[in-house]
Amino acid sequence: MLDLWYKNAVIYCLDVDSFFDSDGDGIGDFRGLADHLDHIEALGATCIWVLPFYPSPNCDNGYDIADYYGVDPRYGSLGEFVDFIQAAKDRGLRVIVDLVVNHSSIDHPWFQASRADPTGRYGDWYVWSKEKPADADKGMVFPGVQKTTWTYDRKRQEYYFHRFYDHQPDLNIANPAVREEIQRIMGFWLALGVSGFRIDAAPFILEDLKKIHGADPHAYLAELQHFLSWREAEAMLLAEANITMEEAADYFGSGDRLHVIFNFPLNQKLFLAFAREDATPVRDFLKALPELPMVGQWATFLRNHDEIDLGRLAPDEKAEVFAAFGPDKAMQLYDRGLRRRLAPMLGGDERRIAMAFSLMLALPGTPVIWYGDEIGMGENMALPERDPVRIPMQWHPRGHGGFSAAEPAKWVRAPIPDGPFAHPFVNAEAQRTDPNSLFSTIQRLIRIRRSCREIGWAEAEVVETEDPATLALLSEWRGGSVLTLHNLSDRPVMIDIGASVGEGRAAHDLLRQNGELRRAEDGRCLLRLAPYGFEWLRIEQETDTRKG
């Protein structure tokens, strides 16, 4: 039986260049990351997702890769990467890395060879056209910034396709040699100790494959998993795939394709629910979740390294979320998303931030945390496009916050200069020693979540409540039952959990360990949730302490 470790994992996502700078050049590196793994271990995460660290011109946060087999010198050496992997392993932490194969950098030797010699080895490693397609102004990922998906190359005298920026030409996945090289890339990093891959832009890979090759593109996912399981049986594939629930079966297959997929539609419903202080959008969405194969899993999240994509919401719903969390046009991006961090969007209210984290951890799937959100870091809106949420980690209240010994003018990205989210007020050092801090609250929640394996393995049952502001979820697996309750509003609410507890059973408070919540004589079992309050309860056979 395979160890499906990701079912009960808690993933912590970070950018190496923003975590800790060990050599004073203003850029985070693997040595600094390895030296600060104690923070991630103390939080309770079990896996680290490292954003691209490969050699790159860095025109798109490292997603424009110039060498798939190396480490960008700014972050250290390949040897220091291996040291980091070993340090993580010593702490029981797994590591997954980005597999960015929809496109490469325009500077990659493959592309340079392809444009120089159309009939050579790399001539058809990219997608070329002698004529500019009629739909070249459609399907752009970055509207308002990107103007086309086809750009003319003067050297080859043809147009090349790029779903993203013009410095990121799309690889020709239909070419068997390209697919073989992708397996070689995977095998290389698996040999160095990674536990899997986050596949960047998975739907675009498949879309391009179908457009070029005409076959069922989802079969390629089975090809990737087959190779992965052959090389490292317990490694997993986590896909960035903003898909509808109707498409889920194509991506998961019978368990022979992807292991985990980010649940982007659920994330959008979450922010709609937060904006309304009404759980109905999330409740209705969870009721319609499709059944997954045993090895399949959703990944749940609040924030990630990109914008919060609201593109699947109705226009009036998107307008609601913008009005609540990004009313200024500068806070919005690509006409579809928010370029803000969680804490400032929720007004810095730690009750509400903690509730959001608790809810994310209670949702069916594997939770993914964006670095810094565990201490309530803010954003620097002066930075361009997606960079406001990628600011350097705030380690302590002294000096410039502890990310680097260099002056902030030399840092990879400018920190928050002042205000309530600046490092004197929001930093890891102060919160790790304060039992009432946001970090300590999330730490406790993660500890409880990891002990409640039912949530990672079971399909959550939505329990009906009378108040629309509340969400109650019951997860049952192998005889265990966990009930989570969340109040999304700024007013107290009462919930009768008697029906969920059932006859002859009692609810044990997992958060405060105050003993059993007992049923009243009329059968009700009332629970009061404070404004933005939440509870985690284990349902077990009732014990009678009066006997004996």
| Domain stops at, among 389, 421, 449 | 449
Query: So what's the pLDDT on residue 546?
Result: 44
Rounded distance between C-alpha atoms, residue 173 and residue 309, angstroms: 26
pLDDT tops 60 at residue 514? no
Residue 543 banded pLDDT, cuts 50, 70, 90: low
Residue 214 banded pLDDT, cuts 50, 70, 90: low
Domain containing 477 equals: 456-541
| Contact status, residue 70 vs residue 55, Cβ threshold 8 Å | yes
Task: Summarize the confidence of residues 392-412 as an average pLDDT.
Answer: 98
Residues 424 and 279 in one domain: yes
Residues 425 and 508 in one domain: no
Number of domains in the chain: 2
Residues 404 and 285 in one domain: yes
Rounded distance between C-alpha atoms, residue 453 and residue 9, angstroms: 10
Q: Tell me, yes or no, whether 395 lies in a domain.
A: yes
Q: Tell me, yes or no, whether 159 lies in a domain.
A: no
pLDDT tops 80 at residue 144? no
Task: Summarize the confidence of residues 189-214 as an average pLDDT.
Answer: 88
pLDDT tops 60 at residue 547? no
pLDDT tens per residue across span 81-110: 999 999 999 999 999 999 999 999 999 999
Higher pLDDT, residue 112 or 545: 112
Q: Tell me, yes or no, whether 466 lies in a domain.
A: yes
Percent of the chain whose pLDDT exceeds 90 = 87
Q: Annotated catalytic, 240? A: yes
Task: Summarize the confidence of residues 72-88 as an average pLDDT.
Answer: 98
pLDDT tens per residue across span 52-66: 999 999 999 999 999
Query: So what's the pLDDT on residue 228?
Result: 96
Residues 332 and 437 in one domain: yes
Check 200, 278, 379, 535 and give the catalytic one.
Answer: 200
Q: Annotated catalytic, 200? A: yes
pLDDT tops 90 at residue 427? yes
Q: Tell me, yes or no, whether 288 lies in a domain.
A: yes
| Domain stops at, among 449, 475, 500 | 449
Q: Tell me, yes or no, whether 109 lies in a domain.
A: no
Task: Summarize the confidence of residues 60-82 as an average pLDDT.
Answer: 97
Residue 510 banded pLDDT, cuts 50, 70, 90: very high
CA 501 to chain centre: 33
Task: Summarize the confidence of residues 503-510 as an average pLDDT.
Answer: 83
Residues 83 and 46 in one domain: yes
The two counts, helices (H) then strands (E), for the chain are 18, 22
Check 21, 158, 240, 454 and give the catalytic one.
Answer: 240
Strands 332-333 and 337-338: antiparallel
Query: So what's the pLDDT on residue 507?
Result: 84
Task: Summarize the confidence of residues 508-520 as an average pLDDT.
Answer: 70
Closest CA to 173 of 216, 213, 130: 213
Task: Summarize the confidence of residues 437-457 as an average pLDDT.
Answer: 97
pLDDT tops 80 at residue 213? no
Joined tokens for residue 492 = 């107290």
Closest CA to 282 of 132, 136, 465: 465
CATH code of residue 478: 2.60.40.1180
Residues 275 and 351 in one domain: yes
User: What pTM was estimated for this model as a whole?
Assistant: 0.96
Q: How many Cβ atoms sit within 10 Å of the Cβ of residue 84?
A: 27
Residues 420 and 280 in one domain: yes
Residues 512 and 392 in one domain: no
Task: Summarize the confidence of residues 14-25 as an average pLDDT.
Answer: 98
Query: So what's the pLDDT on residue 548?
Result: 42
Query: So what's the pLDDT on residue 402?
Result: 98
Task: Summarize the confidence of residues 145-162 as an average pLDDT.
Answer: 95
Percent of the chain whose pLDDT exceeds 70 = 96
Query: So what's the pLDDT on residue 544?
Result: 55
Residues 416 and 492 in one domain: no
| Contact status, residue 77 vs residue 23, Cβ threshold 8 Å | no
Q: Tell me, yes or no, whether 359 lies in a domain.
A: yes
Contacts with 511 (C-beta within 8 Å, 6 or more apart), sequence order:
444, 448, 534, 535, 536
Query: So what's the pLDDT on residue 140?
Result: 84
Residue 63: C-alpha distances to residues 78, 106, 109, 111, 130 (Å): 18, 11, 16, 15, 27
| Contact status, residue 351 vs residue 438, Cβ threshold 8 Å | no
Residues 325 and 406 in one domain: yes
Residues 311 and 424 in one domain: yes
Query: So what's the pLDDT on residue 208?
Result: 72
Q: In 457-512, which ranges are E strands?
A: 461-463, 470-477, 480-487, 493-496, 505-509
Task: Summarize the confidence of residues 236-260 as an average pLDDT.
Answer: 96
Query: So what's the pLDDT on residue 74?
Result: 98
Residue 137 banded pLDDT, cuts 50, 70, 90: confident
Q: Tell me, yes or no, whether 358 lies in a domain.
A: yes
Joined tokens for residue 448 = 């409880």
CATH code of residue 34: 3.20.20.80
Query: So what's the pLDDT on residue 245?
Result: 96
Query: So what's the pLDDT on residue 300?
Result: 98
Residue 156 banded pLDDT, cuts 50, 70, 90: very high
pLDDT tops 80 at residue 209? no
Contacts with 435 (C-beta within 8 Å, 6 or more apart), sequence order:
none
pLDDT tens per residue across span 465-502: 999 999 999 999 999 999 999 999 999 999 998 888 77
Rounded distance between C-alpha atoms, residue 239 and residue 200, angstroms: 7
Q: Tell me, yes or no, whether 39 lies in a domain.
A: yes
Residues 413 and 496 in one domain: no
| Domain stops at, among 391, 415, 449 | 449
